[in-house]
Amino acid sequence: MEHQIETRESEPKFEKLTEYNLLKDKDTYQVQTGKNENQIIIKVSKVNELSDIFYQNIFTLEQFSKLDKSFRVYDEIKELYANLESFFKNGKVIINEIKNDSIALGIKIMSLTGEEKIVEILLNKKEAGQDSIVKQLCKKVNLLEIENKNLKEEINIIKNELNVIKNWKNENEENFKKLLKLKEEEIALKDIDSKILTKLEDLKFIEEEYKKNDQLNILNNKKFKPKLLYRATRDGDSTSVFHKKCNNINGTLMIVKTDKGFIFGGCTNEIWNEDKSYRKDDSAICFSLDLKTIYKSKKTDYSINCNNDNNYGFEIIFLVLEIIVYQKEE
């Protein structure tokens, strides 16, 4: 039930008003309350809206007592006002209804039976005039200037922090590049069991050329990850051991390092065997890692020599530090 209370024509003075915010249909309303020795003022206006319209009423202790008998227990206006403030602070006040000429606040209180009920306070529509609009504009401009100043300070702080990060990045960028390169090499070379291939650029060169000549599709668009078949320094420098470990395997890669430190090799899609004959491979190549150069066979009928005699293909063993042979892992 609504209780309308008449507002006095000449508005008395009140102590500094206390402000609260209430929501109604996604809109925010500012509520201001204040008191003097005999009265309480309640004023409501819409936030962020330039308007000379607001809602207000001034209440005496007797007028509050007429709203609900629960307010009759207070003998002084300051006691009632303290209780009213607690309602606002604890979220016990809502905007119940908004009309063309009034706005109703609802105070949630406990009845004598222990049930919650709402006591409605009606505030009448007022017009503050153009001066009020100007004051609101001035207040909003002041707030915007403060916000703008704070924003500039925050931007300057962020700029300074970014400069510190940028300077630190520039100072350490070269170290990062070196670390990343070392890590990349470590990852790429960890599965290549070789004392010859220790540079990532050599591995990438071989991988690229090996894929170009992978006519048997051994790599099958997979990452180059060869399987070690034979190593002279581990398995012995004889052609018989070489053939034992490498015969009848498609797609092999051989890498050689001489005692002078030169590195070269070759790859073939033909299989090795011991039939003491040359084998044809149009895709077979030799390469020099030192010169980063590819050499293709001019006479493809003589691409590889499968002779098991030490007087032939493996005389070179006595000039090398290491020979390794790989097969692509399936």
Q: Give the CATH number of the domain where residue 103 resides.
A: 2.170.210
What pLDDT, on a 0 to 100 scale, did the predictor assign at position 312?
A: 46
In a domain, 9, yes or no: no
What pLDDT, on a 0 to 100 scale, did the predictor assign at position 42?
A: 94
What pLDDT, on a 0 to 100 scale, did the predictor assign at position 254?
A: 85
Tokens of 284: 């077979």
| 258 touches 267 (CB < 8 A) | no
Residues 109 and 211 in one domain: no
Q: Which domain holds residue 102?
A: 18-134
Residues 219 and 116 in one domain: no
Residues 206 and 320 in one domain: yes
Q: Which of 134, 153, 174 is the last residue of a domain?
A: 134
Alpha helices in 113-199, H assignment, sequence order: 130-189
Tokens of 248: 């009848």
Strands 102-110 and 252-258: unpaired
| 227 touches 253 (CB < 8 A) | no
- Per the structure, the count of domains in the chain is 2
List phi, psi (to 5°) of 89.
Answer: -65, -35
Q: Which of 87, 118, 134 is the last residue of a domain?
A: 134
Per-residue pLDDT of the chain (330 residues; tens, 9 = 90+): 444 444 444 568 888 889 999 998 888 999 999 999 999 999 998 887 667 788 999 999 999 889 888 888 888 999 999 999 999 999 999 998 888 899 999 999 887 677 888 999 999 998 865 566 566 677 777 878 888 889 999 999 999 999 888 888 888 888 877 877 777 777 767 767 777 888 878 888 887 877 776 655 555 555 666 778 888 888 887 778 888 888 888 778 888 888 888 888 888 888 888 777 788 888 888 889 999 998 887 777 888 888 766 444 433 333 334 455 555 444
Residues 209 and 318 in one domain: yes
Alpha-carbon span 202 to 290, nearest angstrom: 9
Residues 99 and 207 in one domain: no
Tokens of 302: 């003589």
Strands 18-24 and 39-46: unpaired
CA atoms within 13 A on the CB side of 119: 17
What pLDDT, on a 0 to 100 scale, did the predictor assign at position 40?
A: 93
Alpha-carbon span 79 to 173, nearest angstrom: 69
Total-model pTM: 0.43
Q: Which of 84, 107, 134 is the last residue of a domain?
A: 134
